[in-house]
Amino acid sequence: MQGLLTDLPEKLDRMLAGGELTWIIIAAAAAALVIIIILLFLFFRRKQKKTAPKEPAETRRAEQQAVEPPEVEPGTVTPKTHGLMDRLKSGLGKTRHSLTQRLENAVSEKGVLDPEALEDIEEALITADVGIETTTELIRKIRENGPGISNFDELRSFLKQEIAKVFKNLEEPKPAGRKPHVIMVVGVNGVGKTTTIGKLAHRFRGEGQSVLVGAADTFRAAAVEQLGIWAERAGAQMVSHRENADPAAVAYDAVEAAISRDIDRVIIDTAGRLHTKTNLMEQLKKIKRSISKKIPDAPHEVLLVLDATTGQNAVSQAKMFHEGTGVNGLVLTKLDGTAKGGIVVAICSTMKLPVSYIGVGESIEDLQPFDPDRFVEALF
Ligand SMILES: Nc1nc2c(ncn2[C@@H]2O[C@H](COP(=O)(O)OP(=O)(O)OP(=O)(O)O)[C@@H](O)[C@H]2O)c(=O)[nH]1
Ligand SMILES: [Mg+2]
């Protein structure tokens, strides 16, 4: 080791004379330069990420967590039709993509609707959860019109027209003769009842109506809190009791408060029920009765919220709730999260109940009144 150190100046002299040291210094400087450039690049990239606008999903989540109520001016949530269509199209994107691809493949190969093509069309509709019954009926009609359908565009417009018919002539809930119009919202756990109430309240406030929400989901304190945040954001009033209070008493007080405060719309939130438990259904009936003690023809709307991603299970939920509570309108949520948006068709044709609203995203604007023509237009 000592020998090495004593030899070092000599070695350096020799390297200098031979020009080796100059090369080593140049190489070291070049390496240092490269390292500095990489560090600068990483530094600017981080800075850029920090200042870049948030992704829409992040923004939406942040929006939902915000407790500050937005300024809701009358008319602010009546988006232009093309805006609604764009949102609907993007919400139904998964369903449309899968369905059109399958249908296109079914007809494009031969240009005629032979039994094999019909089988493929049937499979495409069933995969989109249109339901066996409706699909069988549609296939029968396509077969009858066979010669008139020879390409994808013809098939598409035929299906649009036939599916739109499923939604027509369904009895809509009648508006209340006088104030307040009472809406009771029911459905199993986690389907989106409270979120839908928040979106609805925002929509009605945007139309210039006064809104009061009743926190009749008293099973969890968090449920009242969640509804409170939505009410605040939408600019709605809220009536709530303590945790575990009688939900029917909350509903009664909410309607009473709405009458005395001259409110236009009352929306009652209820707990997520397991439709298989009869006692829970009994409680919903009790809530309904207590509402009608204040206003005999209320609730004017019993809206059943169904999660579109649960597929055919939503049909059995609809049957159970309809039997128990006399549902007169449906809300299909989370259509943005599924390729099986055809469930809307299956439920309407099975239940003969109108779809009042559809949820196509988590943001406050992502609830639309259901328009059959717009829906089929966005579906294919
Ligand atoms: N992607 C998407 N998510 C939705 C939609 N509607 C509701 N959600 C989400 O569904 C989840 C459950 O919503 P809630 O409103 O709490 O459901 P709930 O029916 O009130 O649930 P419980 O009170 O527990 O019975 C939340 O994360 C919502 O953001 C929708 O249309 N699209
Ligand atoms: Mg809830």
Taking only the tens place, the pLDDT of each residue in 258-307 is: 999 999 999 999 998 654 555 778 889 999 999 999 999 999 999 999 99
Distance 191 CA to ligand 1 centre (A): 5
How far are the Cα atoms of 43, 187, 213 from residue 266, in angstroms, in the given order?
A: 54, 18, 6
Q: Which pLDDT does position 50 carry in this prediction?
A: 39
Flag whether pLDDT at 233 surpasses 70.
Answer: yes
Look at 51-60, 100-109, 320-329, 365-374 and tell me which has the smallest mean pLDDT: 51-60
Which pLDDT belongs to residue 55? 33
Residues less than 5 Å from ion ligand 2, measured at CB: 193-194
Q: What is the CA radius of gyration of the chain?
A: 31
In sequence order, what are the beta bridge partners of 355? 330
Beta carbon of 362 within 6 Å of any ligand 1 atom:
yes
Reported as a pLDDT band with limits 50, 70 and 90, residue 82 is low
With the most atoms of ligand 1 within 8 angstroms of its CB, the residue from 362, 363, 367, 368 to mutate is: 362
Q: Looking at residue 358, what is its pLDDT?
A: 92
Q: Which of 58-62, 120-124, 171-175 has the highest mean pLDDT?
A: 120-124
Note the helical H segments in the chain. Answer: 2-18, 20-51, 56-65, 81-91, 93-108, 115-127, 132-144, 152-167, 193-206, 221-234, 247-260, 278-294, 313-325, 343-351, 372-379
Minimum mean pLDDT among 78-87, 126-135, 286-295: which range? 78-87
Which pLDDT value is given to residue 243? Answer: 82
Closest C-alpha residue for ligand 1 atom 8: 192
* CB of 189 shorter than 6 A to ligand 1: yes
- 């069309």: which residue's tokens? 121
For residues 110-137, give the mean pLDDT. Answer: 86
Phi, psi of 303 (to 5 degrees): -95, 120
Q: What is the mean pLDDT of the chain?
A: 82
What's the CA-to-centroid distance between 193 and ligand 1, angstroms?
6
**How much is the average pLDDT of 139-144?**
88
Core vs surface per residue 144-179: b (16+ CB within 10 A) or e = eeeeebeebeebbebbeebbbebbeebeebeebeeb
Interatomic CA distance for residues 275 and 277, integer angstroms: 5
Q: Which amino acid is at 156?
A: R
Ligand nearest to the CA of 195: 1
Instruction: Find the range with the poorest average confidence among 1-5, 17-21, 350-354.
Output: 1-5
**What is the Cα–Cα distance from 84 to 373, expressed in whole angstroms?**
13
Would you place residue 207 in the very low, low, confident or very high pLDDT band (cuts 50, 70, 90)?
Answer: very high
CA of 362 to the centre of ligand 1 (A): 8
Q: Mean pLDDT throughout 78-96?
A: 74
Place of tokens 């307040």: 180
Contact 9, 21 (CB under 8 A): no
DSSP 8-state code for residue 280? H
Which amino acid is located at 136 in the chain?
T
